[in-house]
Structure 1
Amino acid sequence: MQTAIQLWTLRELREPLSDVLDRISAAGYDGVEFAGIGDPGASRRALDETGLGIAGVHVQLEDLQSDSRTVENQARTLDAPSIVLPSLDDDHFASERAVESTATLLGMLDTEFDRPLLYHNHDHEFVPLGDGTAFDALVDRTTIDFEFDAGWAHAAGQDPAALIRRLDGRVPVVHLKDMTEEGEPTALGDGVVPLQAVVEAAREAGTEWLVFEHDDPEDPVDAIQAGIGGMRPLLE
C-alpha cells in the first residue's frame, strides 16, 4: 500500500501548494489526496516537481451534479485515479427508501465519469436500519467502491477492520484516522481505533492507498510528520 495525506488536514497551513507538497515529500509520503480540485494544471505541475502521487480528489455533490464534464476534465488533468464524494447529508440514510434513492444517485453519478466514483463515510451512515445499518444497506444496493474512513466508523460503534474485510475488492482507499473515546479526532496512536487491525484488513482487501487524515490538528506542520511517523510502523 502507498501512503498519502489528505490535504484537508493542512487547510490552515497558509503556504503555496508547492511548498506544502515539498513538506509532504520530505516527510516521506508517497502521495496526497486533494480536498477539492482547485487549479488542476498547477496542482499537476506541483505534483510532478515533487514526485508525489495522487490518491484521489474530493468533489462536492453540487459540483458533481451541476458540471460533470468540467469535473471530469479537471480530474483528467490532475490525473486523479478516482473522484471521491466526501459526504452526503443525514437525510440520505434515514430510511430504507432514502438509502435506495442514495444508491440510485451514486450509481448514476458513477456512470458520468471516466474514472471510479468513491463514497467517503463519516459516522452518520451507521444509523440502525433493518438488521444492520444504513451503511450496510448502501453497500448491498450499490456496486461502487468506497473510501473507507476507519476513524469515523469506529466512532459510530463499528468494527472498522471487519467492515473493510466486507468491502474486499471495493475499498481502494482507506482513511487512517484515530479517535478518542469521545469520538474526537486525535493523533495516530493516541486514540482507541485498532489501527494495526485496520491496516492488516486493508492489505487483505486490496487497498491501494492508506491516507492519513486528522480533521482538526493543533499544528498542521507537526501533523505531517506525526502522520507518517504513525503509519510507518503499522506497515512494517
Structure 2
Amino acid sequence: MQTAIQLYSLRALDEPVTDTIARVGETSLDGVEFAGTGDKPPVQIRRELDDQHLEAAGAHVPIEAIQENLPAEADNCQTLGVETLVVPILDDSALADASSIDETASILSSLAASVAEYGLDLCYHNHEFEFADVDGRPAFERLVEATDGVDFELDVGWAYAAGADPVDLLDRYADRITRIHLKDVAVDAEAERGGHPVDLGAGDVPLDDCVTAAEAAGVEWMVFEHDAPDDPVEFLRQADAWGETR
C-alpha cells in the first residue's frame, strides 16, 4: 500500500504547489493527492513530481467540473500522471432518501463510464452524511451497492465520527475501496459534524486497526489528511512518521 498526503492539508502554507511538493519530496511518502493545483501549469507541477520521485495518488475534482469540462480535466490528469478522479463531496440531498441515492448512483455510474473513455477511474469520497439511516441502513451501503464502475475513497475519520465502523466497511467492501483517507477525529456527539479533526493519534479513530484492515483489503493508497491542522508542517512530519512504518 502506497502512502500520500492530501495537499489540501497543507494549503495554509500559502506557497506555490511546487514548493509544497518539494516539501513532500523530503519525506518517505510515495505521492500526493491534489485538490486543485493553484496557479502553476500542470507541466511544471509534473516536472516537480518527477524531480521529487513522487506519484500522483489522485485528484479531488468537483463533480460539476468533471461533468462540464471532462476533456480538459482528463488532459490535466494525463499531464500530471493522475489516474483517478475523486468526487470530493456531494450535497447531502443527493443521499436524502432511497430514490435520491439510486439517482445519484446512476449519475456516478454514468460518469465513471465517461471518464473510463479517457483511461481514468472515478472514485467517491465520503464525509459523515453518507452514513445517515435510509430505510433501515446507512445511505453509504446502498450507494456502494447501487453504483457500477465507481470506486470509493473511505475517509475513516468521518466514517467513524458518523458512528460507522471503518474496519468493517473495509472488510465488507474490499473490492470497492481503492484508497483511504487516514484522518483522526475527536468525536463529540454535540458537534455539528459529529467531531473535529485532530492530529494523528490524538483522536478516537482506531487508526492502527484501519491501516491493518486496509492492507488486508488490498487498498492501493493510504492518503493522510487533516482538514485544518494548527501546524501543517508538523502534520506533514506526522504523516511521514506513519508512512515510514508501512
State the TM bucket, normalised to the shorter chain.
Answer: over 0.9
Q: Is the 8 A contact 2:55 2:81 kept in 1?
A: no
Q: Is the 8 A contact 1:5 1:32 kept in 2?
A: yes
Distance in 1, matches of 2:175 and 2:46, equals: 28
Q: Is the 8 A contact 2:186 2:202 kept in 1?
A: yes
Superposed counterparts of 1:55-204, under 5 Å: 55-113=57-115, 114-143=119-148, 144-182=150-188, 183-204=195-216
Shift of 1:231: 4.1
Mapped pair 1:9 → 2:21: no
Superposed counterparts of 1:28-43, under 5 Å: 28-38=28-38, 39-43=41-45
Task: Render the CA deviation track for 1:75-99: whole Å, top value 9, x for unaligned.
Answer: 1111112000000000001000000
Aligned residue number for residue 50 of structure 1: 52
Alignment TM-score, normalising by the size of structure 2: 0.92
SS at match of 2:127: coil
Task: Render the CA deviation track for 1:158-191: whole Å, top value 9, x for unaligned.
Answer: 0011111111122111100000022100011111
Q: Is the 8 A contact 1:91 1:98 kept in 2?
A: yes
Q: Is the 8 A contact 2:4 2:222 kept in 1?
A: yes
Mapped pair 1:24 → 2:24: yes
Mapped pair 1:212 → 2:224: yes
Moved over 4 A (4+): none
SS at match of 1:216: coil
Task: Render the CA deviation track for 1:106-130: whole Å, top value 9, x for unaligned.
Answer: 0111111121100000001111012
Shift of 1:40: 2.0
Unaligned runs of 5+ in 1: none
Aligned length: 234
Unaligned runs of 5+ in 2: 189-194
Distance in 2, matches of 1:177 and 1:222, equals: 15
Distance in 2, matches of 1:33 and 1:162, equals: 25
SS at match of 1:214: coil
Q: Is the 8 A contact 2:28 2:244 kept in 1?
A: no
Distance in 2, matches of 1:52 and 1:124, equals: 33
SS at match of 2:176: coil
Distance in 1, matches of 2:153 and 2:224, equals: 12
Distance in 1, matches of 2:3 and 2:177, equals: 15
Shift of 1:17: 2.2
Q: Is the 8 A contact 2:28 2:243 kept in 1?
A: no
Moved more, 12-21 or 192-201: 12-21
The code of the aligned residue for 1:221 comes to V
Task: Render the CA deviation track for 1:182-219: whole Å, top value 9, x for unaligned.
Answer: 21000111111011111111111111110000000001
Shift of 1:37: 4.6
Moved more, 91-100 or 217-226: 217-226
Alignment TM-score, normalising by the size of structure 1: 0.95
The code of the aligned residue for 1:226 comes to Q
Q: Is the 8 A contact 1:58 1:83 kept in 2?
A: yes
